[in-house]
């Protein structure tokens, strides 16, 4: 009887080769990003999907998000924002220049900004937003597979005027970083940019076919006519590295520029210049650093770091104004503006800023679950006229300390603390309008995720990579005769005649996408630290003629199910006894909820040398209803009674079962034994199961999850 063990890769797989996507933390820079997303009216936008690499989170009801271990390319972080009713946004910046961002998403149809229409591909079409026009030639479109497309085209177009108030918050990238045709880094002065999205009747994306050009007409923004040259480069935004790349040329004809492109993404009309690094610190009149403050520097913006510092690239020989909007500094009036004279290229210039002092709320967060302090802090309040409001966000220092500012005259402020895994702590405190209020220490629980590395294979000297996600990694054993590891139905390693005490095996190797299948491969096993390494040493015979017999796969796969090498059976996933200072996250939650609790738990606590936990995940589908068992080594009868009381208060109906009680509400069953906690959905017991023997090191972790997902204060 085959048993399928399906578990999550955040801690189960390490490849020998380099990482494909990694966090800024590896360079000593940021490894997380926080911020707020608003709509075109400035209102917080909820349920925006924020994605970096293969990690996604959603904005909360306040538009706030916090995502960690963001992807990095060339020392720039890259994060995308998507919502079905708005144009997508990709944000990028140098890792040492931002830990917070502010994004504004624009609707698919808004007068003077965007347009949504349709036309027949065989006839072509012309779509405009104001004086910005895009012409699509007839019979010029192809599907994603390159085949010609004939039929209805749904066309969405977004035009960004660089003179618009929210230009910096809505444009892709956010900092206008660019590379010219020689590969040199430049700063851009934008004269407008456009995004074009074309889809077929089924929602499939369409593009211009090879060799076809689309004509674009850009209006010259008001006030920029005198500096507009006769010719200006066109730039396309590369979403893989977050940089604008020169892709064409536009010619001025009166009050417009006309140019052509052969491929649609974001297209930007810009005058390139050498860059100047503008940096400094922002403090209040009392000398306190101001963090989380948005600075508008002409066409770009910056948000100050915890020490009040900022850094941004601006065009050379160009005067700029650094502005602090009233709304960005708790409605302080009037607006603050500091002029910076133009500077020569390839230089840096320091401009510190001092702002008036506002009432300060300060305190310290005590993370009860780890030593990570990737928290975002803000306050909600009622202003002097009785209108609800919210302060700007601030980032905690590395020791958990924070301070934020309140508007003068506000009442009833409440502190909100958010973490990257979606947890939120709401803390009420006494406030009487004094210059400084210390809320003391506030407890929160958060464990930083650790991103896994992507595997990579070298076959006959040629690198082969393959994609997978958390739910696509499968391991199984059949009657003790063989053991198999499978990645996304692509790479499959099957060890024949598997024995725990053996170190070398005959094996079958399958690479489905590449067409490889070997029936006589060899795999060696050896221990590496507290893990077991499976090295594919020989591919053996393969059905693909281009691969030689006995070709070598230079690949190493760490097999988590054999961590100790002394597991009772391959049905057990055994962890090492000693894992000091190691955090073992599982994954972000799937989109299926049980009283607000996802199918898969978020993360584990920091393990100590006393920790000994056995985990068993058995499932054929990752999105099956949850069946979780937690065994407490040191739970007391008082704990049992307290949970029972709280479940009764929640409205659960109780019945006696063997060795315990069952609490039922709708399709939820919770079986409570002495120290055991079993949750089941739909009245059907699925095979997916997790057993945890909990010592003190994990008690706080599970307590926070029970509190978060069930609203119960157990312990």
Q: 232, 254, 273: which is the final residue of a domain?
A: 273
pLDDT greater than 70 at residue 21: no
Overall average pLDDT of the 463-477 stretch: 44
For 307-339, what is each residue's pLDDT tens digit?
899 999 999 999 999 999 988 898 887 889 999
Q: Residues with Cβ < 8 Å from 253, sequence gap 6 or more?
A: none
Is 157 inside any structural domain?
Answer: yes
Looking at the structure, tell me whether residues 395 and 311 fall in a common domain: no
| Res. 447 pLDDT band, cuts 50 70 90 | low
Count of domains for the chain: 5
Looking at the structure, tell me whether residues 240 and 120 fall in a common domain: yes
What's residue 98's pLDDT?
66
Looking at the structure, tell me whether residues 98 and 164 fall in a common domain: no
Q: In what order do the strands lie in the sheet with 627-632?
A: 653-657, 660-665, 668-673, 676-681, 627-632, 691-694
What's residue 224's pLDDT?
94
542: β partners: 518
For 335-394, what is each residue's pLDDT tens digit?
899 999 999 999 999 999 999 999 999 999 988 767 777 788 999 999 888 889 888 888
What's residue 246's pLDDT?
92
What's residue 500's pLDDT?
64
Looking at the structure, tell me whether residues 296 and 318 fall in a common domain: yes
What's residue 491's pLDDT?
66
Average pLDDT, the chain: 71
Q: 419, 444, 469: which is the final residue of a domain?
A: 444
More confident residue, 120 or 55: 120
Do residues 535 and 522 touch, judged by C-beta distance below 8 A? no
pLDDT greater than 50 at residue 561: no
Q: Which CATH number does the domain housing residue 242 bear?
A: 2.60.220.30
What's residue 487's pLDDT?
54
Looking at the structure, tell me whether residues 266 and 148 fall in a common domain: yes
Separation of alpha carbons 316 and 545, rounded Å: 58
- pLDDT-wise least confident of 232-241, 461-470, 555-564: 555-564
What's residue 374's pLDDT?
77
More confident residue, 697 or 345: 345
Give the residue ranges of DSSP H helices in 581-695.
Answer: 637-649
Separation of alpha carbons 138 and 492, rounded Å: 46
What's residue 357's pLDDT?
92
For 93-141, what is each residue's pLDDT tens digit?
887 766 788 899 999 888 888 888 999 999 999 999 999 999 999 999 9
| Res. 549 pLDDT band, cuts 50 70 90 | very low
Separation of alpha carbons 325 and 330, rounded Å: 9
Q: Give the CA distances from residue 411 to residues 273, 358, 391, 404, 654, in Å, rounded to whole numbers and listed in that order.
A: 48, 14, 12, 15, 45
Looking at the structure, tell me whether residues 343 and 388 fall in a common domain: no
Range of the domain at 558: 2-10+459-562
More confident residue, 73 or 303: 303
For 86-102, what is each residue's pLDDT tens digit?
999 999 888 776 678 88
Pairing of strands 320-324, 294-297: antiparallel
Q: 355, 384, 412: which is the final residue of a domain?
A: 355
pLDDT greater than 90 at residue 503: no
Looking at the structure, tell me whether residues 170 and 247 fall in a common domain: yes
Is 505 inside any structural domain?
Answer: yes
Looking at the structure, tell me whether residues 255 and 318 fall in a common domain: no
What's residue 161's pLDDT?
95
Looking at the structure, tell me whether residues 147 and 89 fall in a common domain: no
Looking at the structure, tell me whether residues 269 and 285 fall in a common domain: no
What's residue 485's pLDDT?
61
Looking at the structure, tell me whether residues 370 and 348 fall in a common domain: no
Separation of alpha carbons 507 and 496, rounded Å: 5
More confident residue, 692 or 353: 353
| Res. 475 pLDDT band, cuts 50 70 90 | very low
Separation of alpha carbons 407 and 188, rounded Å: 36
Overall average pLDDT of the 61-88 stretch: 84
For 602-658, what is each residue's pLDDT tens digit?
222 222 222 222 222 222 222 233 334 444 434 455 656 766 777 677 677 888 876
Overall average pLDDT of the 203-225 stretch: 93
| C-beta neighbour count of 694 within 10 angstroms | 20
What's residue 670's pLDDT?
63
For 225-279, what is each residue's pLDDT tens digit?
999 999 999 999 998 888 999 989 999 999 999 999 998 889 999 999 999 999 9
pLDDT greater than 60 at residue 415: yes
pLDDT greater than 60 at residue 586: no
Overall average pLDDT of the 436-442 stretch: 94
pLDDT greater than 50 at residue 280: yes
Looking at the structure, tell me whether residues 427 and 483 fall in a common domain: no
What's residue 213's pLDDT?
94
Q: Residues with Cβ < 8 Å from 417, sequence gap 6 or more?
A: 365, 375, 376, 377, 424, 425, 426, 427, 442, 444
């Amino acid at each position: 009887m085959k048993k399928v063990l399906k578990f999550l890769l955040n801690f189960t797989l390490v490849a020998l080769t380099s990482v494909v996507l990694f966090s800024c933390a590896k360079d000593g820079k940021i490894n997380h990003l926080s911020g707020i997303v608003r709509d075109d009216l400035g209102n917080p936008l909820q349920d925006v999907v924020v994605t970096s690499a293969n990690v996604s989170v959603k904005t909360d009801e306040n538009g706030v998000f916090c995502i960690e271990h963001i992807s990095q390319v060339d020392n720039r972080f890259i994060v995308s924002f998507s919502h079905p009713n708005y144009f997508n946004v990709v944000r990028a910046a140098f890792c040492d220049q931002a830990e917070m961002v502010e994004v504004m998403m624009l609707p698919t149809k808004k007068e003077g900004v965007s347009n949504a229409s349709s036309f027949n591909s065989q006839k072509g079409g012309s779509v405009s937003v104001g004086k910005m026009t895009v012409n699509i030639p007839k019979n010029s479109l192809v599907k994603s597979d390159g085949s010609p497309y004939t039929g209805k085209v749904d066309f969405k177009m977004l035009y960004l005027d660089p003179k618009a108030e929210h230009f910096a918050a809505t444009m892709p990238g956010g900092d206008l970083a660019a590379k010219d045709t020689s590969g040199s880094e430049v700063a851009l002065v934008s004269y407008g940019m456009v995004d074009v999205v074309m889809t077929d009747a089924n929602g499939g994306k369409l593009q211009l076919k090879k060799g076809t050009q689309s004509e674009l007409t850009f209006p010259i923004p008001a006030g920029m006519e005198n500096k507009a040259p006769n010719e200006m480069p066109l730039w396309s935004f590369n979403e893989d590295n977050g940089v604008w790349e020169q892709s064409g040329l536009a010619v001025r004809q009166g009050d417009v520029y006309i140019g052509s492109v052969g491929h649609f993404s974001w297209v930007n009309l810009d005058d390139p210049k050498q860059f100047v690094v503008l940096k400094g610190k922002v403090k209040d009149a009392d000398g306190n650093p101001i963090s989380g403050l948005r600075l508008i520097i002409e066409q770009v913006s910056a948000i100050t770091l915890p020490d009040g510092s900022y850094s941004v690239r601006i065009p050379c020989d160009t005067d700029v104004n650094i502005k602090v909007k009233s709304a960005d500094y708790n409605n302080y009036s009037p607006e603050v503006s500091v002029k910076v004279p133009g500077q020569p290229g390839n230089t840096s210039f320091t401009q510190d800023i001092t702002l008036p002092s506002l009432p300060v709320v300060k305190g310290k967060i005590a993370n009860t679950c780890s030593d990570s302090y990737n928290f975002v802090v803000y306050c909600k309040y009622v202003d002097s006229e009785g209108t609800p409001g919210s302060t700007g966000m601030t980032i905690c220092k590395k020791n958990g300390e924070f301070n934020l500012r309140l508007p003068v005259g506000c009442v009833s402020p409440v502190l909100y603390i958010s973490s990257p895994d979606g947890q939120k702590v709401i803390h009420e405190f006494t406030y009487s309008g004094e210059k400084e209020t210390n809320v003391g220490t506030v407890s929160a629980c958060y464990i930083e995720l650790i991103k896994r590395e992507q595997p990579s294979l070298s076959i006959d000297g040629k690198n082969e990579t393959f994609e997978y996600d958390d739910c696509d990694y499968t391991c199984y054993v059949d009657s003790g005769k063989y053991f198999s590891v499978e990645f996304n139905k692509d790479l499959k390693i099957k060890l024949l005649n598997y024995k725990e005490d053996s170190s070398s095996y005959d094996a079958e190797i399958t690479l489905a996408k590449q067409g490889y299948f070997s029936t006589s491969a060899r795999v060696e096993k050896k221990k590496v630290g507290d893990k077991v390494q499976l090295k594919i040493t020989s591919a053996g015979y393969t059905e693909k003629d281009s691969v030689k017999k006995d070709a070598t796969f230079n690949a190493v796969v760490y097999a988590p199910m054999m961590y100790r090498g002394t597991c009772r059976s391959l049905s057990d996933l055994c962890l090492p006894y000693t894992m000091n200072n190691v955090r073992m996250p599982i994954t972000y939650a799937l989109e299926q909820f049980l009283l607000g609790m996802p199918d898969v738990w978020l993360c584990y606590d920091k393990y100590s040398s006393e920790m000994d936990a056995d985990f068993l995940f058995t499932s054929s589908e990752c999105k099956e209803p949850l069946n979780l068992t937690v065994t407490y080594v040191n739970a007391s009868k008082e704990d049992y009674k307290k949970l029972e009381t709280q479940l009764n208060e929640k409205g659960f109906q109780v019945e006696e079962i063997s060795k315990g009680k069952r609490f039922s509400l709708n399709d939820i069953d919770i079986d409570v034994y002495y120290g055991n906690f079993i949750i089941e959905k739909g009245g059907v017991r699925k095979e997916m199961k997790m057993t945890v023997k909990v010592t003190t090191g994990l008690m706080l972790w599970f307590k926070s999850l029970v509190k978060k997902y069930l609203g119960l204060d157990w312990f």
